[in-house]
């Protein structure tokens, strides 16, 4: 819905996020995707829409439009949360790689 609202094709979003079009399609259809793909798309959108809307679709926006989030504090909080998620993903990736070597 957000991609279409911004009039961006799946191919354009894929190129902008260094993902593949099938990865974008899987993400939009709620299929299993890598967390890094989700983070790339969220990072792309955070410059273009209200971050509140991404995290809470029930949040009220003026005229029900998607607007850029200009709250510096809120962006910092989201950036910290994304950094924590990315760090956790890196740790789990290292653990999985180590387990694969053992197996």
Q: Please, what is the average pLDDT of the chain?
A: 75
Ramachandran area for residue 32 (φ above 0: left; ψ -120 to 50: alpha; else beta): beta
Q: What is the pLDDT of residue 39?
A: 84
| Count of beta carbons in the 10 Å neighbourhood of residue 26 | 16
- What range does the domain containing 58 cover? 2-102
Instruction: Give the residue with greater pLDDT, 19 vs 29.
Output: 19
Q: What is the pLDDT of residue 64?
A: 47
Give the DSSP H/E element, type plus range, for residue 79. helix 72-102
Q: What is the pTM of this model?
A: 0.52
Task: Give the total number of structural domains in the chain.
Answer: 1
Q: What is the pLDDT of residue 53?
A: 59
What span, in angstroms and rounded, lies between the C-alpha atoms of 44 and 53? Answer: 14
Instruction: Give the residue with greater pLDDT, 88 vs 20.
Output: 20
Residue 79 has pLDDT above 80, yes or no: no
CATH number for position 42 = 1.10.260
């Amino acid at each position: 819905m957000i991609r279409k609202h911004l009039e961006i094709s799946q191919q354009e979003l894929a190129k902008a996020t260094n993902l593949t079009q099938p990865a974008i399609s899987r993400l939009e259809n709620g299929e299993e995707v890598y967390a890094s793909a989700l983070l790339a798309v969220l990072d792309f959108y955070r410059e273009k829409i209200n971050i509140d809307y991404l995290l809470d679709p029930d949040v009220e926006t003026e005229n029900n439009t998607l607007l850029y989030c200009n709250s510096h504090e809120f962006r910092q909080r989201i950036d910290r949360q994304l950094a924590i998620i990315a760090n956790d993903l890196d740790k789990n990736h290292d653990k999985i790689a180590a387990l694969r070597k053992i197996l």
